[in-house]
Structure 1
Amino acid sequence: MIRLGLRLALRGGRETAGRLVLIAAAVALGVALLLATLAGINAVNAQNARYSWLATGTPSATGTGTGTAANAATPSAGRAADPLWWLLSVDAFHGRQIGRIDLAPTGPHAPLPPGLSRLPGPGQFYASPALATLLRTTPPAQLAARYPGRQVGTLGPAALPAPDSLIIVVGRRADQLARTPQAARVTAIATTPPSACSGQCLDVGINARGIDLVLSVVTAALLFPVLIFIGTATRLSAARREQRFAALRLIGATPRQIAVIAAVESSVAAVGGVAAGFALFVLLRPALAPIPFTGEPFFPGDLSLNLPDVVLVALGVPIAAAAAARLALRRVTRSPLGVTRQTTARPPRAWRILPLLAGLGELAWFVHAGQPAGTAGQVRAYLSGILLTMIGLIVVGPWLTLAGARLVARRTRRPAALIAGRRLADNPQAGFRAVAGLALALFVTSVAVGIITTINAYGTTGTRDHAAARGPAQRHTLIDRFTTYTPAGPQDIASIPASLLGDLRRVPGVRGVTVIHRPPGAGRVDPLIGVVSCAELSGTPALGRCAAGSDPATTATLSTDFEARFGDHAGTVGPAALSPDGLRHLPVQSLAVDTDGPAAVERARTVLDLAYLSYPSVTIAEDLDRGLRLTTAYRQLANVVILTSLPIAGCSLAVSVVAGLNDRRRPFSLLRLAGAPLGMLRRVIVLESALPLLVLTVVSIATGFLAAGLFLRSQLHETLQPPGGEYYLIVAAGLLAALAVLASTLPLLRRITGPAAARSD
């Protein structure tokens, strides 16, 4: 039977060869998308792991990693590594974050960070390729002057989370760095990625509280449309094959023999498609790497496949194709005469709604039972609920299609709508199959948009206009915070040297400098309250202003929660019961520098970085962006899901419509011979796809918002917020694209229908 199946598949004439080529091409596209999805998940984890070494010196990572000896001579067995003084600080340049590591070994066998051939000595530094380019092309006063010494090498890819990462490793003297606040003495380089970090972790990468859960849902959201697309492709010309296999059954072939022949025929196309899909993925990988899925681009090597991924796709897709072919022939094995006579299958029943209700019920359970404990428990709980809901949409789809078709057929008086309604009611499974991918894509889109919109709305700036938060005053006002939080309370520096204030005021483009002091008593209770001189405050309008007519020789109280300030001015601040002389004796909480543009910001930042290495300076807008970094990464992943699932669903629709036209060319040819206008038949085709599409659009969007709302209530204790106009534009674009796909297939109707098709078996 295998030999016969191969002969029928490979020597079945032009029609069979064309069908195999179409199936192989569709499977190749689906496999390439599937491989890109799996490689993208691997790339996110690989990128996240390369943040590990930056956490060296934090309480949760100190002593947990293993280091490589910096000296070429490896220490003798059992010998401990020489301690290494380590200070990580966060710098910035034109809104981009720069990771700075100052280190100093205490002996020849200190641990060596990744990406370095040796440790830099005092007055030497290693820079990432992107930062090295900036150092060469930027005026020294804006950037290079912050890092005295000379560059002795370039950081290798092992040290860089992304190709454009800005990182610098600066060599210092051990006695100098030991006296620097916040420097740590370490004996190993951390190897714990942020996704596995527990306790106090550096704010880099994606933490375990979100990455496993988010990536699990993203994987499911992308895999389902791809698998539906592959399944749709393997069913091309299903009706024609059913008739041929029914004829074989009538002349004596057993159900087992028919199943073997069908499996061989489907596997031939699937194997060729899988091979082409792997080749297509290799060609697409360089183009996929620069896409910032998580806010940062990938190295091409990060988009890699592990052995389980390769085995899963290489074996799973052909097996799935064979299984789909086997399931498609159930009517043939049960009753070949029923197929040849085109008997109507049993209509779907209302019980199909139960899996959908079960999925939503599981998500609703945790609203009252509480958030599942631990990340693993959350993955199992929410992922199973989302998957069950998606399966429920697939199961209930034919029943909803049947209900809509019967309603249209019962109420319409137009021939095209009547024919479309009757045909859908006769085979609602086929009608839903054409739009199943789009239904799932709209569900995934609604869930992603609903969750991200709500997170943004409940965030620090979610209910306000983000664009207003990045006005000129916020972009051009530099803040340097000097507060260190300890168990005893916030600790500040005693004062700022007058020479530093003079240097800042002499920087070209600096318009004002304001020293913010910690008020006595009240500041210990609320660390975000400061007192300033009204004379200085007039030079930094982003912080606020004293009341009109106030004496400049007075003081004022203001909030130092600058990232919550919006617009070009922070408003009027209240007077402080403190004399200007008393202000000078208070500890300094932070410093604000107002400038006239980006170049002045960077020049002032260079002066501050040289004076206070442990206290990075950022603009108000940069501080806001840093707080939204994780939300931005999740939004990027959501956008990837949306922008990937909709095109995949469109491909599924195109393949389904073409397959449906090919399978029904004889009935359409008979209608044309009976006098039906070609325009009416085209309206029938559009209605057969548009009716289930509209029904499932409403159900999928409503279900998506409901699932998102249940997740938000149980996981974050937040209420779903309505999305903005961008979401509705995405939905409208998806529906218009679907209608465009339908329109592109209509010219085929004239070509495949006619007397010749009506005479065929």
Structure 2
Amino acid sequence: MNPVQLALRVLRVDSRSRLSAVLTAAGVAVATALILFLATLPNATEARMQRSAWQEGSANPSGVTMASRDFFENETIVRLDVSGEAEPGKGVPDYPGPGEVLLSPRLAELAQQRPGGELADRFAGKVIGTIDEGSLKFPEQLVAVVGHPPGTLDAEKADLSGSAAVGNSDVMLDVLAGVGIVLLAIPSMVLVASAARLTAARRERRLAALRLAGATPGQVIGVVTAETAVAAVVGTVAGLLLSWPLRYLGMHIPWGDGTWLASDFTPSAVTVVLLGLLIPTLVVLAAVLGLRRVVRAPVGAAMSHARKRPKAWRLLALVAAGGFFLVGLASADQTGGMGLLLASLAAVLLSASIVGPWLTGVIGSLFAKMWRKPSVLLAGRRLSSDPQAAYRSVSGIVLAVFVGTMALTLLPSFETFAGGGRSFKDSVLYLDVPTAQAVDQEKRIKDQLASSGAGATVVRAERVLVQKAENDSASGFVINCQDAAAVTRLDVGDCAGPPSIRTPGAQELPSSGLRVQAYPTEGVSSVDELPTVPLPDGVPVRRLGGSQDPGLDSTVLIDPALVPGFGGQGESTLAVSPATDADREKVRTALAVALPGESFNSRELRLYDQQTILGDLKRVTAIGLGLTALLAGCSAAITAASSVVDRRRTFAALIAAGTPVRMLGRALRAEAALPAFVATIGAGAAGIAVAAGIFGLFGDDMPVVLSGWLFAPVVIGMVVAVIAAASSGPMLRRIGAERISEE
């Protein structure tokens, strides 16, 4: 009988082996589906960018496309002002003619539902159709293509509009996908290993009997390979099939203001083949490596002799993993590449499985000596006699706690980045323009606001550099006090008095020798080319009142009477403040009509973009933590059950000797709680340290935020470990009801 036939026979006649194979296949299926889904995320983001590539501004012999950003109720509208014909390409729709408009389906729906002055009037022209979702970044994207007569659009300006409107490749999601593969793949493998160990002791005795009967090591390995391969291959195929409906769930998870197309998550053939071969190979390899004791010492395996206890040298694994992680951080910081960092993160996770058994053995020895109750003594003896098996029950939970503390350290820390932006009030819309064009564009905006009936304050301020000394300058505005009070967040105080300079408390200005220079615009190769105006000595310098935003510490306000002008050179800012919230969309419509193709911005929109990113991170983190906790809980429950199955003889003997089943149940819970208590605390500390290192790549000198919620994963991990151990109670009671002769 060859190994495959023998393996199939075992699965056919042994219900416990069959249950182990089914659970192993289920674990492999879950791992395969999750890893395959995560592996498609970089392809999904690339598919998005390829679909929306035509939305970037450009000029070519057949036509001009000017891209700009507009907003409606804080949702981004990509506006394309076009003339001529579209450059042929995948997903590029036919451009509308002069006076015609194409809208995306959702934008067309909104334009019909809302008053024309709030949205539809921004796209002056006849709507001739909608854009197919295959040409949109995501199905809900708001896109308008507005046709113009040939020769009316600035080709040079179109080339510069580009990705400012559409956005660049989603690097963050690619990084999260790589981290997710590492953080979910290992708990998935732990689940597979837990299922495969469900009948480990029974399998060892069976294989040892084969060895003692004359089977060669190769034949024993062949039997295990065949038995494991059946479950691994079936599970892998099931996982590949499960990934198909999984992508339909994934397409509904929002990211970056929109959802996805199902086709975005279609894996490449190479990815499918690699995973289809790699996962079963790893599962079989892990099973074969577990046969070392049976191959080397079949008598010891058959008699269940105690294994050697782990040595303290395992602690060196933590040192090595920590050093590798520091190398990965340095590589990511210097080169921007994430490959080495992800590999070092995997090494940190794997080091827990090396150190964990040694730590479990130490805890077991400690409690076996200090026991006060019989259940604690039983638990301590179990932990010290077989720490590898004891740690296995909490290994998945340790990884889940590590991931949880990482997330709860990174998210609050990333929230500290929120804020910032220009010195204008949140709702003020602003646009930087060359000073030579500022007066004309200001007039067009005011005329359009007047004709549309939208209430707003329009302010023009010249941007300048205040030269305090050589190589020492501060940015500022030439603006009168009343206008600054209307549109900026600065507390200008009382505007009465002579013309003056207003400066925040952190900015020290001398009373003489000040010079004001025009702000550099695009195309200026050197600041020395810009005109400079000296300020009179003894100009009053007044402090801006109140508690200023730290981001405004360098903003200086200069009264226009002190600066005669720069002859139309430099850059100015047009700031438009809606009178009320009800006028906001009307004002945006008026700006789009007055200056088509220009991208106004605001601090409010900047904050909204930041909150959108944080919301995406929280959502993805919650999903990842939920999956990790589910995998860890399942692996802990299965391992607890396998622990009872492996020790049926021991438990049956204890029960026959008069040991209460309730006491054995308490011993099982103590077995889980004791290592879980120490290991989860260690995992939490490691998670915080790793998160602090990763945050340093983004936060520079920003402090890491630590909150009381960091204790939540540790507490939840311990509770899950105890509950998982308690789930084996019914199996323990079943052993107590069986006849001792059966064992």
TM bin (shorter chain): 0.7 to 0.9
- State which of 355, 361, 372 in structure 1 corresponds to 2:317: 355
CA distance in structure 2 between the partners assigned to 1:493 and 1:40 by the alignment: 44
- State which of 157, 173, 184 in structure 2 corresponds to 1:182: 157
Query: Is 1:382 paired with 2:341?
Result: yes
Residue number in structure 1 paired with 2:430: 480
- State which of 416, 426, 431 in structure 1 corresponds to 2:390: 431
Unaligned ranges ≥5, structure 2: 505-518, 520-546
Query: Is 1:100 paired with 2:42?
Result: no
Residue number in structure 2 paired with 1:127: 103
Rate the CA distance shift 1:409–1:483 in 2: closer, same or farther, 3 A: farther
- State which of 682, 690, 701 in structure 2 corresponds to 1:718: 701
My pick for the range that moved more, 727-736 or 12-21, is: 727-736
- Partner AA of 1:168 in structure 2: A
Residue number in structure 1 paired with 2:439: 494
- Partner AA of 1:431 in structure 2: A
- Match of 1:125, SS state, is strand
Deviations along 1:70-128, whole A, 9 cap, x unmatched?
xxxxxxxxxxx7242121101111111111121212xx6x5135433422211222222
Residue number in structure 2 paired with 1:683: 666
Residues 23 and 236 of structure 1 are in contact (CA less than 8 Å); yes or no, is this contact kept in structure 2? no
Residue number in structure 1 paired with 2:462: 518
What is the CA-CA distance between 1:634 and the residue it aligns to?
5.5
Deviations along 1:341-362, whole A, 9 cap, x unmatched?
2211011111112232112113
CA distance in structure 2 between the partners assigned to 1:505 and 1:736 by the alignment: 66
CA distance in structure 2 between the partners assigned to 1:695 and 1:126 by the alignment: 62
What is the CA-CA distance between 1:223 and the residue it aligns to?
1.9
Residue number in structure 1 paired with 2:578: 594
Residues 409 and 422 of structure 1 are in contact (CA less than 8 Å); yes or no, is this contact kept in structure 2? yes
Residue number in structure 2 paired with 1:35: 36
What is the CA-CA distance between 1:144 and the residue it aligns to?
1.1
Deviations along 1:234-261, whole A, 9 cap, x unmatched?
2221111112222222333222222211
TM-score by structure 2 length? 0.82
Unaligned ranges ≥5, structure 1: 63-80, 195-200, 463-468, 485-489
- Match of 1:184, SS state, is helix
Query: Is 1:86 paired with 2:65?
Result: yes
What is the CA-CA distance between 1:228 and the residue it aligns to?
2.2
Residues 534 and 556 of structure 1 are in contact (CA less than 8 Å); yes or no, is this contact kept in structure 2? no
CA distance in structure 1 between the partners assigned to 2:474 and 2:681 by the alignment: 49
- State which of 116, 128, 148 in structure 2 corresponds to 1:140: 116
CA distance in structure 2 between the partners assigned to 1:584 and 1:719 by the alignment: 39
CA RMSD of aligned residues (A): 3.9
My pick for the range that moved more, 446-455 or 381-390, is: 446-455
Query: Is 1:163 paired with 2:139?
Result: yes
Deviations along 1:162-218, whole A, 9 cap, x unmatched?
222222222222221128x832399xxx9xxx8xxxxxx77724466x666554333
Rate the CA distance shift 1:350–1:86 in 2: closer, same or farther, 3 A: same
- Partner AA of 1:134 in structure 2: L
Rate the CA distance shift 1:46–1:257 in 2: closer, same or farther, 3 A: same
Deviations along 1:377-400, whole A, 9 cap, x unmatched?
x33442332222222222111111
Overall identity of the aligned pairs, in %? 27
CA distance in structure 1 between the partners assigned to 2:142 and 2:699 by the alignment: 33
What is the CA-CA distance between 1:556 and the residue it aligns to?
8.4
Residue number in structure 1 paired with 2:25: 24
What is the CA-CA distance between 1:146 and the residue it aligns to?
0.6
Residue number in structure 1 paired with 2:5: 4
What is the CA-CA distance between 1:608 and the residue it aligns to?
1.0
CA distance in structure 2 between the partners assigned to 1:379 and 1:257 by the alignment: 43
- Match of 1:241, SS state, is helix
CA distance in structure 2 between the partners assigned to 1:322 and 1:118 by the alignment: 54
CA distance in structure 2 between the partners assigned to 1:118 and 1:498 by the alignment: 35
Rate the CA distance shift 1:99–1:348 in 2: closer, same or farther, 3 A: same
What is the CA-CA distance between 1:616 and the residue it aligns to?
2.4
How is 1:554-703 mapped onto 2 (pairs within 5 angstroms)?
576-579=558-561, 588-597=572-581, 599-626=582-609, 638-703=621-686
What is the CA-CA distance between 1:160 and the residue it aligns to?
2.0
Query: Is 1:408 paired with 2:372?
Result: no
CA distance in structure 2 between the partners assigned to 1:294 and 1:658 by the alignment: 43
- Match of 1:593, SS state, is strand
- Match of 1:44, SS state, is helix
Residues 429 and 575 of structure 2 are in contact (CA less than 8 Å); yes or no, is this contact kept in structure 1? yes
- State which of 200, 203, 209 in structure 2 corresponds to 1:238: 200
- State which of 220, 227, 234 in structure 1 corresponds to 2:189: 227
Residues 495 and 588 of structure 1 are in contact (CA less than 8 Å); yes or no, is this contact kept in structure 2? no
Residues 478 and 617 of structure 1 are in contact (CA less than 8 Å); yes or no, is this contact kept in structure 2? no
CA distance in structure 2 between the partners assigned to 1:289 and 1:743 by the alignment: 38
- Match of 1:236, SS state, is helix
Rate the CA distance shift 1:319–1:707 in 2: closer, same or farther, 3 A: same
TM-score by structure 1 length? 0.81
CA distance in structure 2 between the partners assigned to 1:372 and 1:577 by the alignment: 44
Rate the CA distance shift 1:297–1:553 in 2: closer, same or farther, 3 A: farther
CA distance in structure 2 between the partners assigned to 1:724 and 1:594 by the alignment: 39
Residue number in structure 2 paired with 1:297: 259
What is the CA-CA distance between 1:536 and the residue it aligns to?
5.0
Rate the CA distance shift 1:123–1:733 in 2: closer, same or farther, 3 A: farther
- Partner AA of 1:530 in structure 2: F
Deviations along 1:669-698, whole A, 9 cap, x unmatched?
222222222222111111212222222212
Residue number in structure 2 paired with 1:395: 354
- Match of 1:177, SS state, is coil
CA distance in structure 1 between the partners assigned to 2:644 and 2:256 by the alignment: 41
Rate the CA distance shift 1:138–1:741 in 2: closer, same or farther, 3 A: farther
Residue number in structure 2 paired with 1:70: none
What is the CA-CA distance between 1:737 and the residue it aligns to?
4.0
- Partner AA of 1:666 in structure 2: R
What is the CA-CA distance between 1:639 and the residue it aligns to?
4.7
Residue number in structure 1 paired with 2:734: 751
What is the CA-CA distance between 1:650 and the residue it aligns to?
2.0
Rate the CA distance shift 1:183–1:713 in 2: closer, same or farther, 3 A: closer
Rate the CA distance shift 1:584–1:371 in 2: closer, same or farther, 3 A: closer
- State which of 277, 281, 286 in structure 1 corresponds to 2:239: 277
What is the CA-CA distance between 1:424 and the residue it aligns to?
1.2
Rate the CA distance shift 1:523–1:87 in 2: closer, same or farther, 3 A: farther
CA distance in structure 2 between the partners assigned to 1:299 and 1:40 by the alignment: 12
Residues 48 and 137 of structure 2 are in contact (CA less than 8 Å); yes or no, is this contact kept in structure 1? yes
My pick for the range that moved more, 158-167 or 47-56, is: 47-56
CA distance in structure 2 between the partners assigned to 1:460 and 1:283 by the alignment: 36
Deviations along 1:647-671, whole A, 9 cap, x unmatched?
2222222222222222223322222
CA distance in structure 1 between the partners assigned to 2:207 and 2:216 by the alignment: 10
CA distance in structure 1 between the partners assigned to 2:332 and 2:29 by the alignment: 41
